[in-house]
Chain A
Amino acid sequence: MSWNAIDRKTVPAEEMGPGISEATKEKIRSFFPRYPSKQACMLPALHIAQDELGYVSLQAMRDIAQVLELPPAAVMDVVSFYTHFWTHPRGEKMLMLCRSLTCELLGSEKLRARIEEKLGIGDHETTPDGKFSFMTEECLAACDHGPCLMVNEKMHKCVSVEDVDRILDDPASDRLDIPRSDTYDAPPKA
């Protein structure tokens, strides 16, 4: 062959990453009755997998494909479409700072400077100890309470520079009362 092409036919085992546990698979299966087809269960399945692993590894995509009886390519299609699914490991805590207009006017730039100073990392970077990843987001949909900072799935509103220190030091700063995937499209209460 006269061209240099990257090989998509084989993949080294270490790039496959960890798979999802049996309990996670069972949790995905428990969502089946809520949807007209197994394929429709894709988004909650991905959230559940990301809750377990922190990201959606190639092996996790394969596992999900197996559970949902789909080709793995169909799972990769959805994962790569949404920016909120991660395909590579990230820090334990994911800091997402809003950079859109309202938060900007209310001082998100100061928060950004403080985070970068305190953690020593820039946008889309992870601290060497693997504790924090940082990225800016377009809008976190809470403009009436800007500036906003999300830690994993927990939203912090009206954040001041002092709050940044407190949030970074608080081990429970990302704790949701119930995991997002449990609230995801929950059936109406009887």
Chain B
Amino acid sequence: MPKITIDGKTVECRENIPVLRAALEAGFEVPHYCYHPGLSVVASCRLCLMQMKMPHPKTKELDWAPKLFPSCQTPVKDGMEVKFDSQLVHNNTNHVMEYYLINHPLDCPVCDKAGECYLQDYTEDYGPATSRMVEEKNKNPKKDIGSQTLLYQDRCVLCTRCVRFTQEVAGTSELTVINRGNRGEIDVFPGEPLENPLQANVVDICPVGALLDKNFLFQQRVWLLKPTKSVSPADARGSTVYIDVNDDRVWRIRPRFNEKVNEWWISDESRFSWQHVHSPDRLNIPMIREESALRPTRWPVVQEQIRAQLNTVASDGGSRVAIVLSPMMSCEEAWLLASFVRQSAPQATFVIGYVPVEGTDQTFPKGFVISAEKCPNRRGVETVIEQAGGPSASWDEFLTKAGGGEYRFALVTGGYPKAWIDSTLADTLRKIETVVLHDVWASALDDHLWLQLPSATWVEREGSFMNADGLVQPFDRALKPLDGVVGDGQFYYELAGHQGLFRSRKVRELMAAELPTFGEVFVPREEPEYAH
């Protein structure tokens, strides 16, 4: 591990990283725009320049070199000595910041980025208080460059992070810099818009408010948002995300750094996977069939009824009982439900629920993968079923048997972002005498259900998902469940005979006794802020 001296302080740093990164990781504040650890280095913003000791050409003694060096482009070397806190460096930063503000429209009050904008932050720290610019500022029209993004060129600092992102990470190269000098601007080729499955990441990596998310445009001031650490349910990769919430509403999802899965990026599917959470069509009252119609009931009643019903149908051990564990469930919920059912119906069949698959896995040039499997926890639920022992079946086997009338009782869990029970599926499930459906949406099966239980979305739950590579990652609750809905974890916790509040950590400790895999969850390391 090389040791370098920054501003007189010796720090130990990782090998082969730029000085800028070493300084940020050691807690120094170094302004920068163009540097992003996930992209190539261009050293074009000129903000991170530093002083460095070099051998004097004549005396060969180490001395401060008269010119400044870009710290993002200088790799660390053992024994090197650099300086960020010097008059020379400060002068440079001040002058560069003045340049950046020459054409800036100063429209922070209406800018979505205000509050997390690095032009704002650096201007406050290093920029001029007033502008010496008397000439008219360059003005550009706002451009609609893609289905998710808008470009407001006046705010751009031409760091070219977005251009490099489309070239290197997405591999589609829609964005480019046109014209030159003070007329330089970001643009797409007319008729070739920014359309790729990772496109909205450019909004995150834009250090200023030039690239804007159409879904988030003028929605919220960012300082009102509270981030919650979560995991994306959009595909089997389990990208880690922040869910930004205010006023009991999700406003946006941002990527959370994860060195093992998604690094700094998320797919657009993950980013917009929250929209069904606020759908007015969601179920929110538990219903029970009384006198051939579904009528509202209360959650404690539901529990009693399920217990009683299960005891009746499972008097023979439960060979005609099927429990469908959806791959949208968290590991904890699946485990609680499975352990509850195994107690009263040791011969019940556990079924891994419907696994939505779209196309094939998409791999991007730098290794980002969008999985074809559009559910977060197939492996987790499979692990739980395997450990629970006893009969199990795949979704197709279950459907065949159900169609043949082999089951008398089934508890089916859903939780998919879209209504998923079509009429064919409903017809098959009608062959089962008693069906309990724990799902987010109303369905074609409603006229046959014995119990219809509203499910909470993953935003309103806590737990962990096991991704396609077997990595168990915890997610926190960002919102309280919809009025009338009890969180799935809490419901199964009480059903399994526990008392008190369901906490995923506590349940994982219980699980770990049987399933050591869940004893330890993976939490990605904290990264310093790279100006987003």
Do the two chains belong together in a single complex?
yes
Q: Name A's B-contacting residues (CB within 8 A).
A: 1-11, 15-16, 58, 61-62, 70-77, 80-81
Contact A5 B187 (CB under 8 A): no
- Residues of B contacting A: mostly: loop
Q: In this assembly, does B174 line the interface, its C-beta being within 8 Å of a C-beta of chain A? A: yes
> Which residues of the partner chain A approach B191 to less than 8 Å between Cβ atoms?
8-11, 16, 58
B92 part of interface (Cβ distance < 8 Å): no
Cross-chain contact of B190 among A3, A4, A15, A74 (Cβ < 8 A): A15
Residues of B within 8 A of A (CB): 141-147, 150, 172-180, 187-193, 214, 217-218
Q: A1-B144, A70-B173 are in contact. List 6 more A-B contacts (CB 8 A).
A: A6-B142, A6-B144, A8-B144, A72-B189, A73-B174, A80-B180
- Using Cβ atoms and an 8 Å threshold, which residues of chain B touch A76? 176, 178, 187, 189
On whether the beta carbons of B188 and A8 are closer than 8 Å, the reply is yes
**Are B144 and A73 touching (Cβ within 8 A)?**
no
| Partner among B145, B173, B214 whose Cβ is within 8 Å of the Cβ of A8 | B145
Contact A8 B187 (CB under 8 A): yes
Contact B176 A74 (CB under 8 A): yes
Question: Could you tell me the distance in whole angstroms from the C-beta of B72 to the nearest C-beta in chain A?
Answer: 23
Contact of B142 among A3, A10, A16, A58 (CB under 8 A): A3
Looking at A8, A9, A76, the one whose CB has the most chain B CB atoms below 10 A away is A8
Roughly how many angstroms separate A8 CA and B175 CA in the complex, as a whole number?
A: 11
What separation, in Å, do the CA atoms of A74 and B173 have in the docked complex?
8
**In the complex, which of the residues A3, A6, A62, A73 contacts B175, with contact meaning CB atoms closer than 8 Å?**
A73
When distances are taken between beta carbons in the complex, the residues of chain A under 8 Å from B193 are: 8-9
Nearest 7 Cβ contacts at the A-B interface: A11-B191, A71-B173, A73-B176, A9-B193, A11-B190, A5-B142, A80-B178
> When chains A and B are docked, how far (Å) is the Cα of A37 from the Cα of B76?
33
Is B217's CB under 8 angstroms from A3's CB? yes
With contacts A73-B173, A74-B173 known, is A3 near B188, CB below 8 A? Answer: no
Contacts of B175 in A (CB 8 A): 73
CB-nearest residue of chain A to B192: A72
Question: What residues of chain A lie closer than 8 Å to B144, measured between beta carbons?
Answer: 1, 5-9
Cα–Cα, bound, A137→B254 (Å): 49
A5 and B143 in contact, given A73-B174, A74-B173 (Cβ under 8 angstroms): yes
| Assembled-state Cα–Cα distance A74/B146 (Å) | 18
Q: A72 to B172, alpha carbons, bound, how many Å?
A: 11
Contacts A11-B190, A72-B189 hold; do A5 and B150 have CB atoms under 8 A apart? yes
Q: State in angstroms the CA–CA spacing of A72 and B193 once bound together.
A: 11
The distance in angstroms between the C-alpha atoms of A16 and B142, with both chains bound, is: 21
A10, B177: Cα distance in complex, Å: 19
